[in-house]
Amino acid sequence: MGEHTTPTFPQEIIDEYAALGVDLPALFSAGHLGERMGVTIVEASADRVVGTMPVEGNTQPYGLLHGGASAVLAETLGSIGSMLHGGATKLAVGVDLNCTHHRGVRNGLVTGVATPVHRGRSTATYEIVITDEHDKRVCTARLTCLLRDAPAPAAG
């Protein structure tokens, strides 16, 4: 559906996860739901996560971008930011998502930009603004993630 590119991560973040045996760019270049919906991560850091998604294939019966598709893009971007904020010792688990849909989109590509509202020890909240190809705001979302301790790596 959408062309996948390798996301851009700060090198120190890539190195942190590589030390744990995790190929961070590969982890976020696809994903089952994101892949089906054509989500592409363009840039990723705890300060800003950018991703795109095609409208085609993600519409509701009236031919408009489905609100649930916007929610998937928003939760994906906010979760990545939360996970990067928490670091390799934390898992980011979404606990609250709200989306306000401002206008309909019938075609093209939408872009989401997630920026932090709050980054604490146990929670992280991101605002995600989704715009169309004309830079018109389509959706404003807010995601809060709980930051849980990651399981210890298996010995071996």
| Fold entry, domain 9-147 | Thiol Ester Dehydrase; Chain A (3.10.129)
The proportion of the chain whose per-residue pLDDT surpasses 90, expressed as a percent, equals 65
SS3 123: strand
In angstroms, the Cα distances linking 41 to 52, 53, 94, 126 are: 7, 9, 18, 16
The three-state secondary structure class of 153 is coil
pLDDT in tens, 80-139: 999 999 988 888 999 999 999 999 999 999 999 999 999 999 999 999 999 999 999 999
pTM: 0.86
Nearest by Cα to 94 from 62, 71, 68, 63: 71
- Determine whether 47 is exposed, middle or buried from the number of CB atoms within 10 Å of its CB (0-12, 13-18, 19+): middle
β-sheet with 90-101: strand ranges across: 40-44, 49-54, 109-119, 123-131, 137-149, 90-101
Q: Which residues are catalytic?
A: 75
Q: Higher pLDDT residue, 54 or 13?
A: 54
pLDDT digits (tens, 9 = 90+) for 29-56: 546 788 889 998 888 889 999 999 999 9
